C-alpha cells in the first residue's frame, strides 16, 4: 500500500503533531509525514519534528505583512515541491483564505477542541463551561472556507465536571485529541484513496 504524503502545519507546541508522527512510525499507517511546516519560526513543535527525523520548515507569516495570500502561496509552493497529498492542521493559528482552502479542498483536515458545530473559534473550553454543558470534546473535520466549519470526520467527548476550569478541561481533552487525530487522519486517507480509485 502506498502511503499518502502528509504535511503537518503547526504554530506552537505541536503535541497533536507528535501524536501523528508517532502513529505514522507504523509502516501500515496510511500517511507518511514528509514535512512539518510552521508559520512561527520559534514553534516548539519544530524541534520535536526534527528529533523525529521529519523535514521541517518555518515560513514566518509576519514577513508578508497583511498579504495572507502571498504567505499561503509561499507555503503552497513548498507543499507541492514536497509532493504533499494530505495536510493536517495541528494547532495552526492562521485563518486560511478561500484561495488556499480551495487549492487543498478534500485534502486538508483540522482538529478543533470542541464538539463542533458548538464553539467554533477560540476559548472553546471556557464557552462550554459557561454554557453549563455536561460534555465537551474534540472534532476532526475537513477544512472548508468557514472557520471550523467543514464536514466532520470524527469526534470524541469527555465529561465536564463540577469545578472545572478551562485549563483542567483542556488537560482532560488533550490526550483524547492525541488518540482521535491519528484515527481520523487514517479515515481521511481512506476516503481520499477511495475517491482517487473511483476517478481512475
- List the interface residues with ligand GRF, window 20-79 (CB under 6 A): none
Query: Which CB sits closer to ligand GRF, 170 or 193?
Result: 170
Query: Which CB sits closer to ligand GRF, 12 or 166?
Result: 12
- What's the CA gap between 87 and 75, in Å, rounded? 12
Long-range contacts, 80-84 (Cβ 8 Å, 24+):
82/5, 82/7, 82/34, 82/35, 82/55, 83/5, 83/34, 84/5, 84/6, 84/7, 84/34, 84/35
Q: Could you say whether residue 14 binds ligand GRF (CB under 6 A)?
A: yes
Please state the length of the chain. 200
| Active-site residue (options: 112, 125, 141, 178) | 112
* Residue of the chain from 46, 90, 96, 108 that contacts ligand GRF (CB under 6 A): 90
For this structure, is 78 an active site residue?
no
Residue position matching grid coordinates 482538529? 111
* Residue of the chain from 23, 37, 104, 112 that contacts ligand GRF (CB under 6 A): 112
* Residue of the chain from 31, 96, 111, 189 that contacts ligand GRF (CB under 6 A): 111
What mask, x for binding ligand GRF by CB under 6 A, covers residues 137 to 176?
-x--------------------------------------
* Residue of the chain from 6, 16, 71, 141 that contacts ligand GRF (CB under 6 A): 16
- What's the CA gap between 89 and 10, in Å, rounded? 6
Strand pairing class (31-38; 4-10): parallel
Q: Could you say whether residue 12 binds ligand GRF (CB under 6 A)?
A: yes
- What's the CA gap between 42 and 10, in Å, rounded? 11
Strand pairing class (108-112; 31-38): unpaired
Q: Which residues bind ligand GRF (CB under 6 A)?
A: 10, 12-17, 90-91, 111-113, 138, 177
- Catalytic amino acids? 112
Amino acid at each position: 500500500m502506498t502511503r499518502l504524503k502528509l504535511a503537518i502545519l503547526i504554530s506552537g507546541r505541536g503535541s497533536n503533531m507528535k501524536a501523528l508522527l508517532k502513529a505514522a512510525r507504523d509502516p501500515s499507517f496510511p500517511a507518511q509525514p514528509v514535512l512539518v511546516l510552521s508559520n512561527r519560526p520559534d514553534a516548539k513543535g519544530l524541534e520535536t519534528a526534527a528529533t523525529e527525523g521529519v523535514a521541517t520548515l518555518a515560513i514566518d507569516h509576519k514577513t508578508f505583512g497583511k498579504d495572507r495570500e502571498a504567505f499561503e502561496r509561499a507555503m503552497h509552493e513548498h507543499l507541492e515541491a514536497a509532493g504533499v497529498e494530505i495536510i493536517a492542521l495541528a494547532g495552526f493559528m492562521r485563518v486560511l483564505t478561500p484561495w488556499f482552502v480551495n487549492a487543498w479542498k478534500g485534502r486538508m483536515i483540522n482538529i478543533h477542541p470542541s464538539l463542533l458545530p458548538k464553539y467554533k473559534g477560540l476559548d472553546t473550553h471556557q464557552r462550554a463551561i459557561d454554557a453549563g454543558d455536561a460534555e465537551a470534546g474534540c472534532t476532526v473535520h475537513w477544512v472548508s472556507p468557514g472557520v471550523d466549519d467543514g464536514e466532520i470526520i470524527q469526534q470524541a467527548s469527555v465529561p465536564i465536571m463540577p469545578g472545572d476550569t478551562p485549563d483542567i478541561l483542556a488537560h482532560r481533552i488533550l490526550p483524547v485529541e492525541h488518540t482521535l487525530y491519528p484515527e481520523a487522519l487514517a479515515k481521511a486517507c481512506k476516503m481520499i484513496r477511495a475517491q482517487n480509485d473511483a476517478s481512475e
